[in-house]
Structure formats: structure tokens, C-alpha cells
């Protein structure tokens, strides 16, 4: 994707795709694996969800060809 014109890239659409990925990770079941592989799969799914959800919560801006993702990691009030 190097040298892609800014007009072709939609940062809000990218954020929406990450929201969809986070939802897909959260909703998928565990494959029929056992033992240590099952635990590794579960741990990787948790990391994938966290990464996708954080980017899915980002405020994305594209200025002068520079994509900036602003992610508020402060705890949300109850």
C-alpha cells in the first residue's frame, strides 16, 4: 500500500473493519483442540480481540498522508 493516494483511503472505514474483526474474534468458537494448544488458542484470541477492539475504538485522522490513530486508554467511568 505504499504511495497510496490519500483520497483512496478511508480511515473511518478502516476503523469499522477493525470493529468487525473484534466482533468476529469475540463470537467465534474454539476449534476441537485439547490441552496446551487450546489454551494457546484462547490466549491468542484474547490478544487479537484486545488489539482489534482498541483500533476499533480509535479516532482516525489522515492529514498530509499521515494516518494518526488516537486511542483513549483511560478507564471509562462506571
Phi, psi of 6 (to 5 degrees): -60, -30
First to last CA, the chain: 41
Distance of CA 40 to the CA centre of its chain: 19
Quick: pLDDT tens for 16-70: 999 999 999 999 988 898 999 999 999 999 999 999 999 999 999 999 989 999 9
Residue 45 pLDDT? 95
- pTM (two decimals): 0.77
2-21 pLDDT, tens digit per residue, is 565 545 889 999 999 999 99
Note the pLDDT of residue 8.
83
Sorted by where each begins, the domain ranges of the chain are 6-70
Q: Vertex 38, ends 33 and 39: CA angle to 5°?
A: 175
Amino acid at each position: 500500500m505504499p504511495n497510496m493516494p490519500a483520497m483512496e483511503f478511508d480511515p473511518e472505514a478502516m476503523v469499522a473493519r477493525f470493529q468487525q474483526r473484534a466482533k468476529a474474534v469475540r463470537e467465534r468458537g474454539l476449534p476441537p483442540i485439547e490441552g496446551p494448544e487450546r489454551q494457546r488458542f484462547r490466549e491468542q484470541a484474547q490478544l487479537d480481540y484486545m488489539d482489534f477492539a482498541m483500533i476499533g475504538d480509535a479516532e482516525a485522522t489522515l492529514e498530509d498522508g499521515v494516518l494518526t490513530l488516537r486511542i483513549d486508554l483511560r478507564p471509562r467511568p462506571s
